[in-house]
Amino acid sequence: MQSEEVLAFLDSHPDFLQHHAERFGLRGQMAQDRVVVSLADRQMLELKDRNRQLEARLHQLIRHGEANDQIIHSAHRLSLMLQRCLNLQQIADGLASCFHQDFALDRMALRLWHPAAESSPLYNARHEVQALARNLSAPYCGPYVNDEVLGWFPATPVLQSFSQIPLTDASGSAFGLLVLASDDAQRFTFDMHTHYLAQMGEIISAALLRVLGQA
């Protein structure tokens, strides 16, 4: 039977779809308003619904792309700042300023146990800190830090989420730990992608090793 014949049959038998509504998934709708919806109209409604879903997905992808562009731009500014730094204190001050201005993060802690940093206030050779950094194969994001790390921050505001980024040398050995913190529980979450954080950790590690090697 051709489609034209099907349509002609439906035109001649307007009650057909109503009598067989359950088979075509229309029973609930017809029971409510007693309106017979043609197959063409139903297909059009389904198409419009799929289009709405695709449009929502497209807008979501655009938002993610814009957010990624902003992160890349901020990471570029971070890299340029680090290249201009001549000593450890300039790096520490530059990181605090950059994370505040470009990433809206006011809570940052940097600790190092590199031998060349022993005279710096950033030096911390506690075993639990070194063990924490060694156990991080990638940046950690989530609500938990140990008491030692939590003590690096003021008591207020109450911090709800953290990113812990190991700082490593060319061999992969950790010589420091960078911790970013926020009072927003959704800022750093378990399901976050840590690709950009890992790249920033590599850039910061290289800058630190450069100035520490000159110390």
Question: What CATH number should be reported for the domain holding residue 161?
Answer: 3.30.450.40
pLDDT at 206: 96
**Residue in 99, 78, 81 with CA at minimum distance from that of residue 90:** 81
Give me the phi and psi of 106, to 5 degrees please.
-100, -5
CB-neighbour burial class of residue 24 (10 A; exposed 0-12, middle 13-18, buried 19+): middle
User: Residue 34, Cβ neighbours under 10 Å: how many?
Assistant: 8
Query: Global pTM?
Result: 0.70
Amino acid letter at 87? N
Q: From residue 136, give the alpha-carbon distance in Å to each of 55, 103, 191.
A: 39, 23, 16
- Cis preceding linkage at 115, omega within 30: no
pLDDT at 215: 56
Tally of domains in the chain:
1
Amino acid letter at 130? Q
Is residue 31 assigned to a domain? no
Is residue 27 assigned to a domain? no
Residues 165/105, Cβ–Cβ less than 8 Å: no
Is residue 86 assigned to a domain? yes
Is residue 165 assigned to a domain? yes
Is residue 37 assigned to a domain? no
Is residue 127 assigned to a domain? yes
Q: Which domain holds residue 81?
A: 49-213
Is residue 4 assigned to a domain? no
Is residue 24 assigned to a domain? no
- Tens place of pLDDT per residue across the chain (215 aa): 566 666 666 667 666 656 666 665 555 554 444 455 677 777 888 888 888 888 888 888 887 777 777 778 888 899 999 999 999 999 999 999 999 999 999 999 999 999 999 999 999 999 999 999 999 999 999 999 999 999 999 999 999 999 999 999 999 999 999 999 999 999 999 999 899 999 999 999 999 999 999 65
pLDDT at 56: 84
Residues 211/88, Cβ–Cβ less than 8 Å: yes
Alpha carbons 87 and 215: distance in angstroms, whole number: 8
**Residue in 180, 36, 175, 37 with CA at minimum distance from that of residue 96:** 180
CB-neighbour burial class of residue 201 (10 A; exposed 0-12, middle 13-18, buried 19+): buried
